[in-house]
Structure formats: C-alpha cells, structure tokens
Chain A
C-alpha cells in the first residue's frame, strides 16, 4: 500500500512538472523565445523599454531644480519638493511594475507545479497592485503641488547656491531662459544641446519629457479601444445572426468615415485636453480589434468546451469573458500593438496641426510644429529630432507587432 502510494506520489510529482512545461505558461515561453530570436525584435523592444524608463525617471534627468542645495545656510531638496502628484504616482507605479517584472521572472525559475507558480505570481501581482494603489492614494491625499518661484539658474549665476547638485540636464520642460536675453530659436550650443524653442525652452528637455505623452497616449487610448473592441466583437461573434449583421454594419459605417476626419470633428467639438485626446483616439480606433475578436469568437463558439460551459449552465458573462476570451485574445495582441503605433501617429499629427495637446505640454508632434513653417523659417535643428523619435517609436511598435504575429502563428504571416 505504501509502495503504491509512493508510486502515485511520484507520478503526480512527475506529471504536473511536465504539464508546467507544456501548458498555458509554456505557450508564452515558446512565443517569447520565437520573438526574441530575431535581433531586430530585441532592438525594437529595447527602444520601447528605454522610452518607458525615460518616461518614469525623467524628472530626475531633466529638471531645473537641483537635487540638493545649500541656500542661505540651509540645506534644501528642491527637486523632490517640486515633484508633482503625477510624478510621484508614475514613479510608484513604475517601481511596482519593475518589481513585478523581476518577481515574475524569478518565480518562473522556481521549481513547482504550474498552478503553484501561477498562484505565486498572482499573489505577487495583487499585493504589488494593492501597495501601489495605497501609496498612490496616500500621495494624492498628502502631496500638494508646490509652486516654486525661485529661479535656480539666476541664483546659480549670482553665486547664491552652495553645494548644488543638479540633474544631468539643468532644464525642465517649461523652464525658460530669462526674458532679458533673447534665447528664442537658439542654434544648438553648449548650454542647450539641441537648441531652444520659440519660448526659450530647452529642446532636449522637452524631448525627454515628451516620452510620457507618447507612451501615455499610445497605451491608454489603445486600452480604451481594446475594451470597446473586445466587448463589441465578443458579442457580435457569440450571438451570430441579427446582432452580428447589425454590428458589422455599424463597424463598416465607422470605418467608412476617415479616421482623421472623425478625430478632428471630435476635437473641434469636445475640446482637446490630453485625457480627452486619449478617449477620442480610443473611440475612433476600436473597429479593427472588434473585427478580429469577432472572427476569433465565431471560430471558438463552435468548440466543445464552449458547448460544455453552456451545458453546465454558466452565466453568459462567464462563458464570454472567462472561457472564450483568454483563447480568443492572443491574436488581438498583434492588432493592439499596431494600434498603439497608429495612436502615436494620430496624436503626433493632431499636435502638429495645432489641435492636439495644449501648448506647455511637451509632445513630439507639437515640437515639430513649433520648429516653424518649413517654407519660410526652417529651423531644421528643432525639426529633425522630434520627427526622428516619432519615427523610431512608431517603427518599433510596428516591428514588435510583426514579430509577435510571426511568433504567435507563422501561418498568419500575411495581411489580415
């Protein structure tokens, strides 16, 4: 009996570890391996990671206030004092994400069954999310945006700062050169590596801060589009028939209106602060995802496990979103990545036309616009860098999309 028990134990110990190799988690391992095989994919992901990193730590890279300084005999920490709520919350969430990425990777190396590993990961994720939410809420309550009227550049020139430790770039995105000297549209100098814009603000600092807008607009608007598209597509694909026909009609209608025209109409009527832009871009770009999800759901709904779920009397939401969605979502990730690229392009076009994010906010598109009309006053040193960064970012997202598509299903390697 004990022998039998031992055998059974060893068998159960054997099988799950094999299963851990070959089931859901392993699917992504395979996809990830195929994706990482190509150096161009690694390079593109590296670029996006670099932008994420810059977006998180940019207050410490480009800031007009020194980290620490002795002023009138007193030690102060102006940079930390001047960080806004948004800066702090981005820092907290960024660190949580970084910790989770490392934890995810380490837990995957641990011995254990598939379920154990997954449970540990979920535990980590939930506790980190909770911590981040609590700390963010605390910051929101306690931290008030501080208005620092001191001009540290002027003070430094007058020699009133002792022991000052400045950020690598001594300009924030809104710091202007003093108004008494004309520093508008400066050619690159030692002080301003990429020159200054029409308000005497450092172009490099604005480029770095612009990373936040590019990331934020791209990801958030596409997440909005994803939520709408998945819900819409899932309902269309699951209830074939009238809902499907009417739904597809509506998708065709929205697709027939040129996106940029629709975007501009929205902007003209609903205003154009950055959150509004995210929502608007999301509202105009969900159709591709909806089509994709619909096609996937049409395929999946005929599978046995869906029939089983229906026969077991599960509620509709459970069938749709717990059982069908995880299996239908994989190819959508590709559409999502291309969608992020398109959203970045849309934002830069809107900002370039002067109807995107509002002026003091640094966006690469509006920086290109600020470089001036190319036919008359062409300031190429201000125009080259932001455009090139938009190109690199959009290209990177597109490469990642293509790479993921090849990795997920080599047979899909054609236009949808």
Chain B
C-alpha cells in the first residue's frame, strides 16, 4: 500500500512540473513583457499607470529576468529560479495589499476548501440514490424526467441562480431568510461551539446549494450507467436466482460494485467545482481564493493571480491522488504495486 502511494506520488512529479511550466509560460511570454510597452495593460481597465508599472516590476522580479548585477539570465534558468521560489512559498508581493501573497492565500484557503468539501458530499449524497433509482426504473417516466431535470440543473448558469438566491432569499426587501455575507457572522467570538456551527451552517446553505446542483447531472448519469452495466452481469443473476429480493440485490450487490467509477470521477469534477466556487464566493461575498483572484485580476495584481492558479491546480492534483488511493482501498482487485 505504501509503495503504491509512493509510486503515485512519484508519478505526480512530472505532472506537477508540467503544470508549473504551463503557468510559467503563460506569464513569461506575455506580450510586451520584455519590451516594457503595453504589458499587462492590454485590457484597458487599468487606469492607474503606477499600479501597472508596479505589477510589471513585481512580475519581472518574480520571473528573474536579470540577476543582481543586471545581466540577463537564460530562459531555462529563469524557470528554475521561478520554480525554486514557488516551492519555497515565495509568490512575490501583492501590489494591492502590500503583503506577501502566500499569506493572503493562506488566509483565504480554508473558506474555499470548506465550501468545496461540503458541496462534494452533498452532490454524492443526492447523485448516488438518484442514479440508482433512475437505473432501476430505466426507460420509465422517472428515469427520463430525472435525466432531463438534472440536465436542466447542469445548464442553469450559476451566476444567475446565485444572483436570484441572494436577491430574493437573502434580501430584506423580499425574504430575509438567509444571510448573504461571508461564511459566519461578525461577532463569532462570543458564541459557543454549537452556536458557531449553527451560524456557519446557516451561512453556507445557499452557497453550497449553488455549488452543488451543477455537478448532479454528471454524477447521476455516471451512477446510472455504472448500475446498468452491473445489472446485466452474472453475479446479479446469481443473487436473484438464490432468491434475494430486488431491493437487496440492488442496494447490497449492485450498489457496491457500481461505486468504483464514482470514486475515480472525484478527481475529474474537482477542477470544475473549484471554478464554480470562484463565482459563488464573488456573489455571496465569501472571502475565499476565488474572490481574491477576481479582485486581483481587476486590479492587475498578477502575483496573486498566478499564485491562486497554482494553488488551485495543486488542490486538484491532490484530489487526483486521493481518488487513486480511495480506488485501491475500495477495490481489492487493483494490485498495490
């Protein structure tokens, strides 16, 4: 088991390096970076010339274009220096906040992770029974309608749903049922643990709902397809032949065997979920990584943008690893080495 995990970790290194190479290249080959004219200002929304120049200076320092004496450094060495800085946690200085970027990201990370973890759990909790029911009632009204309904949910733009939820359900002018600011109230230090949890959950209802509904369609379909694949297999016939009830066959035998694709897909939908949380944090004013990134983009605070993209990629890589490990734990047929 340990060897397997180690092997996966080693295999992850080239992927991680490739990812950093992509992120490095995007910034390094920005138009006008070396010539100095027009770089990082192409959008036109940056009216503050000073901030733009500061961004440029910051990024040039971060990219190690020249060494201490002002001699140019070769491109591969630029990448190596950049990599060294990145992995030692030096993402440069933020221009807006005048603080090390790594500290800002650290502050914002927990909110994003909490949101995504809660949403993942909710998606699985709804998608698994939904997919099972759809597969059992294959071709019947429930199957067709559930498929159509989840496809509709998948197509609902999260920006619209989030806006409507905040506007109608968290607005004193309509229904002030939910709070719409941040993940907890302001005076949390006077609350007991349970009060705090209640407050926290109350704040997360709407964002988590928004973040979860989109993933439902995908996972339900996967569960349904996996169930259907298994329902036709011999062991199901055996189980039925020995007189087990349909409910037992489906919930005990087929259910377990059709869980495996659900585990592998975990790594597949995390990048999308992270992207979704970016928007949701913005709508619900949650101080997470997404909010940090969008604000930084608007202000052309490039070190932050790059750092958040890097951290987001690392998170999805970690989820990939987690999915691999869970797969081995769940399926004894997969060999450890």
Contacts and interface: CB of A to CB of B under 8 A. Distances in A.
A260 interface: yes
Given A264-B294, A271-B42, A380-B168, A256 B15 contact: yes
B285 to A, nearest CB: 7
B180 interface: yes
Interface stretch (B74-82, B252-260, B295-303, B322-330): B295-303
Given A261-B309, A265-B305, A375-B181, A349 B279 contact: yes
B202 to A, nearest CB: 16
Contacts of B31: 270
B210 interface: no
A390 B271 contact: no
Interface stretch (A76-84, A131-139, A231-239, A245-253): A245-253
Contacts of A387: 157, 159-161, 163-164
Q: DSSP class of A's interface residues: helix, strand, loop or mixed?
A: helix
A254 B271 CA distance: 11
Contact of B313 (A261, A270, A348, A415): A261
Nearest to B158: A349
Of B173, B275, B294, B320, most A-chain CB atoms within 10 Å: B275
Given A255-B271, A269-B30, A394-B157, A262 B218 contact: no
Interface stretch (B148-156, B191-199, B236-244): B148-156
B157 A374 contact: no
A109 interface: no
A40 B152 CA distance: 12
Nearest to B275: A260
B18 interface: yes
A98 to B, nearest CB: 28
Contact of A349 (B15, B40, B159, B296): B159
B297 A264 contact: yes
Interface stretch (B2-10, B20-28, B96-104, B118-126): B20-28
Contact of A267 (B43, B161, B225, B317): B43
B43 A272 contact: yes
Contacts of A270: 30-31, 42
A390 B157 contact: yes
Given A261-B313, A358-B44, A378-B173, A268 B302 contact: yes
Given A258-B312, A355-B298, A387-B159, 8 more contacts: A260-B278, A261-B275, A264-B278, A374-B166, A384-B164, A387-B164, A394-B157, A414-B224
10 contacts: A249-B18, A257-B316, A266-B26, A380-B164, A391-B157, A395-B151, A395-B156, A398-B154, A402-B151, A414-B225
Interface of B: 14-15, 18-19, 22-23, 26-27, 30-31, 40-45, 148, 151-152, 154-161, 163-164, 166-168, 170-171, 173-174, 180-181, 218, 221-222, 224-225, 228, 270-272, 274-276, 278-279, 282-283, 285, 293-294, 296-298, 300, 302, 305-306, 308-309, 312-313, 316-317, 320
